[in-house]
């Protein structure tokens, strides 16, 4: 695992993680870039699953892992060339970066993810 990801997940750098990288579309329009990291020891073989479905549902059904709590931060950042190309937006466009660390009921980190949303298409409401 990359050092920062390992630190978030309470792993050693040599521990293996499954990295899911997805571009989410809404009405055929690119809207969200996702990077999701799951410790392989919690979900062995995850990379061989159908990752086009809900990862939360897949984790619950196949690995009996459910996120009981989450630590979430949001940060507005301008898009770089890579992000702009994927989301089909001009370089420097506003995006919203969500960083999420999910925990099991036993407070074991089970997933770290970064979701980058187009700033011109989303509004967020938290309760």
- The pLDDT score that the predictor gives to residue 65 is 93
Give the mean pLDDT of 1-16: 93
- The pLDDT score that the predictor gives to residue 124 is 85
Radius of gyration, alpha carbons of the chain: 15
For the chain, report the end-to-end CA distance as a whole number of angstroms: 33
Contact status, residue 73 vs residue 99, Cβ threshold 8 Å: yes
Domains of the chain with CATH codes: 3-118 (3.40.1410.10)
Tokens 């407070």: give the residue.
Answer: 107
- The pLDDT score that the predictor gives to residue 34 is 97
- The pLDDT score that the predictor gives to residue 104 is 94
- The pLDDT score that the predictor gives to residue 97 is 98
Give the side-chain half-sphere CA count within 13 A for 66. Answer: 6
- The pLDDT score that the predictor gives to residue 111 is 96
Over residues 65-113, the pLDDT tens digits come to: 999 999 999 999 999 999 999 999 999 999 999 999 999 999 999 999 9
Give the side-chain half-sphere CA count within 13 A for 33. Answer: 16
- The pLDDT score that the predictor gives to residue 32 is 97
Over residues 22-69, the pLDDT tens digits come to: 999 999 999 999 999 999 999 999 988 888 888 889 999 999 999 999
């Amino acid at each position: 695992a990359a050092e920062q990801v390992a630190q978030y997940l309470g792993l050693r750098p040599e521990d293996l993680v499954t990295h899911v990288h997805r571009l989410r579309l809404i009405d055929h329009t690119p809207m969200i870039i996702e990077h999701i990291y799951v410790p392989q020891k919690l979900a062995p073989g995850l990379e061989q699953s159908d990752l086009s479905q809900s990862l939360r549902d897949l984790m619950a059904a196949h690995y009996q892992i459910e996120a009981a709590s989450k630590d979430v931060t949001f940060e507005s950042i301008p898009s770089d060339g890579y992000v702009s190309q994927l989301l089909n937006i001009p370089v420097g466009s506003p995006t919203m970066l969500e960083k999420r660390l999910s925990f099991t009921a036993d407070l074991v980190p089970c997933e770290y993810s970064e979701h980058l949303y187009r700033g011109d298409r989303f509004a967020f409401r938290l309760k």
